[in-house]
Amino acid sequence: MSLPKKVRLVEVGPRDGLQNEMQPVPAATKIELIDRLAACGLTAIEAAAFVSPKWVPQMADAAEVMQGIDRRTGVSYPVLVPNEQGLEAALAAGASEIAVFAAASEAFSQKNINCSVRESLERFKPVLARAKGAEANGIRVRGYVSCVLGCPYQGEVTPAAVADVAWALFEMGCHEISLGDTVGLGTPEKAKAMIEAVARRVPIKKLAGHYHDTWGMAIANIYASLQMGVNVFDASVGGLGGCPYAQGASGNVATEDVVWLLQGLGIDCGVNLDALVDTAAWISGQLGRAPTSKVAQALLARRGD
């Protein structure tokens, strides 16, 4: 299969990237990060999560962040919600797109949200019904599937299990399904086999790749996914992030590394790489460290920054 001509990137740094930071990150910093990312040309920026501050204290200011961002025409700002209570808070804050999440691993589902995979999917049915109803103006819902290429608790996760969860979310009404290698265990051929299984149930154009770089395979897995026809990928500026329920899992693949790959392949993603690297350097500085992504390090060194 030929590679896609155009790719859409979903920037998850402000939510998935920052939620695992131990130090408090002020709402003003989160707002500036989101506005900077939009100025780089990113058209989908996951802005916050309306979850319990008891479990994810970094997201306690989600409403303040949503109210403070400069919403650009043509840019979507999805937020993560775990249940109906989270949905109501997101709607009150003006969210126009939400995301829900389930796991392909029974063990991970129990550790993460204290219920089985089936129970988690049942919880989302009223969320999607409410989100897509007239009262909520039919807002779009994105579905995440965690642990698609392995689980830190149960180990192997079969492609069939991933396909079952992806199909359930798609059938409920999710407009797109993001397939998450939560702990970065995947390799290219495993990624292809997983995508092939899911694509038998969900159209390939409705799938996105979400790869963590724990074992250094994220870029290779993205290239393999491109070969399968996937043209949407999640990424996190500066490689920010991790998973609080997956010990040792590093952040998502860095957005600037993905942009460099796409540019090298002649694929349009609409993102200004220099501005993105500047943003990676800025947010890393706010967190008291240097950018960790290879592309940011290389371009900053070349410029003498």
Known catalytic residues are 243
Neighbours of 95 (CB within 10 A): 27
- DSSP string across 21-73: -SS---HHHHHHHHHHHHHTT-SBB--EE---TTT-GGGTTHHHHHHHS-PPT
Please tell me the distance from the alpha carbon of residue 180 to that of residue 209, in angstroms, as a whole number: 6
For residues 129-151, one letter each, b for 16 or more C-beta atoms within 10 angstroms of the residue's C-beta and e for the rest, the string is eebbeeebeebbbbbbbbbbbbb
140: β partners? 97
Q: Identify the CA nearest to 185 among candidates 229, 217, 232.
A: 217
CA distances from 20 to 162, 244, 250 (A): 25, 6, 10
Q: Which residues are within 8 A (CB) of 247 and not within 5 positions of it... i.e. 6 or more apart?
A: 152
What would the two tokens of residue 76 be? 């979507």
79-80/207-211 β-pairing: unpaired
Neighbours of 67 (CB within 10 A): 12
Helix pair angle (255-264, 294-303), 10° resolution: 80
Q: Which residues are within 8 A (CB) of 222 and not within 5 positions of it... i.e. 6 or more apart?
A: 209, 211, 233, 253, 258, 261
Return the residue matching tokens 């694509």.
Answer: 199
